[in-house]
């Protein structure tokens, strides 16, 4: 058998930051079995396993519009602001985002280790 034969198994989406892995059934902006839904970006999508409704789906992630890394939609891994950005690129280019986004991200920063705080 040829090594180029495709298997029938789902493709696997993998976040390059947190290593979340999940099968995906569709990549693009118009998930199948949905009426008039067009996503704002090309996404890795899977059918919602918690819903019997065929039209329900989950967005797993997308590619960073700058570095092309595959990242999940988790707030620790990516940010959508007109386009998808991985958090590494967001942090590198933070000054280019609106002040409101910068303020929201500053609130999310983990608290410093209490042992390192001077008393």
Q: What is the predicted pLDDT for the residue at 33? A: 82
Would you place residue 55 in the very low, low, confident or very high pLDDT band (cuts 50, 70, 90)?
Answer: confident
CA-based nearest residue to 40, from 58, 24, 28, 50: 28
Provide the residue range defining the domain that includes 71.
12-108
Dist CA 54 CA 35 (whole Å): 11
Measured from the Cβ of residue 66, the count of other Cβ atoms closer than 10 Å reads 15
Confidence of residue 107 (pLDDT cuts 50, 70, 90): confident
Whether the CB-CB separation of 109 and 91 falls below 8 Å is answered with: no
Q: Is residue 117 part of a domain?
A: no
116 assigned to some structural domain: no
Query: Does a structural domain hold residue 118?
Result: no
| Stronger pLDDT, 77 or 33, i.e. the higher one | 77
Q: What is the mean pLDDT of residues 35-45?
A: 92
Over range 49-58, report the average pLDDT: 86
Question: Rounded CA gap, 36 and 57, in Å?
Answer: 14
The share of the chain scoring above pLDDT 70, in percent, equals 82
Q: How many domains in the chain?
A: 1
Is 94 within the bounds of a domain? yes
């Amino acid at each position: 058998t040829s090594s180029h034969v495709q298997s029938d198994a789902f493709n696997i989406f993998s976040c390059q930051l947190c290593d979340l892995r999940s099968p995906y059934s569709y990549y693009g902006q118009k998930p199948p079995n949905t009426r008039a839904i067009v996503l704002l970006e090309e996404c890795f999508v899977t059918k919602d396993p918690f819903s019997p409704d065929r039209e329900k789906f989950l967005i797993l992630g997308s590619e960073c519009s700058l570095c092309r890394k595959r990242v999940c939609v988790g707030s620790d891994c990516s940010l959508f602001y007109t386009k998808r950005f991985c958090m590494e690129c967001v942090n590198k280019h933070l000054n280019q985002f609106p002040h409101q986004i910068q303020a929201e991200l500053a609130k999310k920063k983990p608290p410093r280790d209490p042992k390192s705080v001077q008393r």
